[in-house]
Each structure stands twice: as C-alpha cells, then as structure tokens.
C-alpha cells in the first residue's frame, strides 16, 4: 500500500498543515495511508523528532513526500530516517536535487522552455541568463 507523508501544523501534531489539507483529504479518499511529520523539527535538523509520529514498518513501504521544499542535504537526512523505519520515498535524494535545483534540472528543460526569464520589473536574472546564454 502506498503512503503519503505530509507535514502537520506547527505545534499541533495531530492536525495536518492547512496548506496541504486538500491534498491530505484527496489522498485519504483515494485510499492512500497518510503519515504526518514535524516540519519545524526537520528544518532544525532533528530528523528523529520530525518522524516520531511515523510508524516503523515490518515490510518495506513506499512513501510519497508532499511537503515543504528543503535543501538537498536535509532531504537526504529525511530519506535516511525513513529508510530506518522501513520506508522508501518514491523520489530518491539525487532525483530530488535534480528536480529542485535549476542547474541540475536545466539539461532536462532547456529545450522545452524559453531560456529568458524575467522578474516582475522586466529584468533578466543573471544566473538564468548565464545558464541559457541569453545576454542581459
């Protein structure tokens, strides 16, 4: 059975984070098992505290992570903490970093989107321009 890992509200360990409430409800309606984690503890680097309400599994279980973005190093820690509980996130740490950091993802998207990205003031961002070869 597939499980979905979702953050709980800060300081309210039994209540799903309101930003993810509709996804939590949809997962339940679709028959997924859900587990809540403590995003504040995870941000602080305390993976054990972040996962203290996540069950340990007797047989390996697959989990979908649906939560707040985090640095790749933190995701690696979350992944390892879940492996210790018998769970494997569907997105590996390498795949997470590839999808969440533009320099890592750029080779996958460069042909399908415009390389020029503007901010609200109409300025081309130097980092994106350098990656794409667009002059500013």
pLDDT tens for the chain, 136 residues long, are: 789 999 999 999 999 999 999 999 999 999 999 999 999 999 999 999 999 999 899 889 999 999 999 999 999 999 999 999 999 999 999 988 888 777 777 776 676 554 455 455 555 555 444 544 544 4
By the 8 A CB rule, do 63 and 3 touch? yes
Q: For residue 64, what are the β-bridge partners?
A: 4
6 CB burial (10 A radius; 0-12, 13-18, 19+):
buried
Q: Is 83 helix (H, G, I), strand (E, B) or coil?
A: helix
pTM of the shown model = 0.76
Q: How far apart are CA 28 and CA 94, in angstroms?
A: 28
Spell out a b/e string for 76-88, using b for 16 or more CB atoms within 10 Å of the CB, else e: bbbbebbeeeebe
């Amino acid at each position: 059975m597939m499980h979905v890992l979702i953050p709980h509200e800060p300081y309210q360990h039994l209540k799903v984070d309101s930003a993810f409430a509709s996804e939590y409800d949809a997962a339940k309606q679709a028959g997924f098992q859900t587990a809540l984690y403590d995003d504040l503890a995870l941000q602080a680097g305390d993976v054990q505290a972040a996962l203290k309400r996540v069950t340990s599994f007797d047989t390996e279980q697959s989990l979908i992570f649906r939560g707040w973005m985090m640095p790749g190093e933190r995701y690696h820690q979350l992944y390892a903490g879940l492996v210790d509980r018998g769970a494997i996130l569907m997105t590996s740490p390498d795949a997470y970093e590839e999808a969440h950091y533009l320099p890592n993802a750029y080779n996958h998207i460069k042909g399908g989107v415009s390389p020029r990205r503007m901010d609200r003031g109409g300025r081309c961002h130097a980092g994106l321009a350098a990656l794409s070869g667009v002059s500013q």
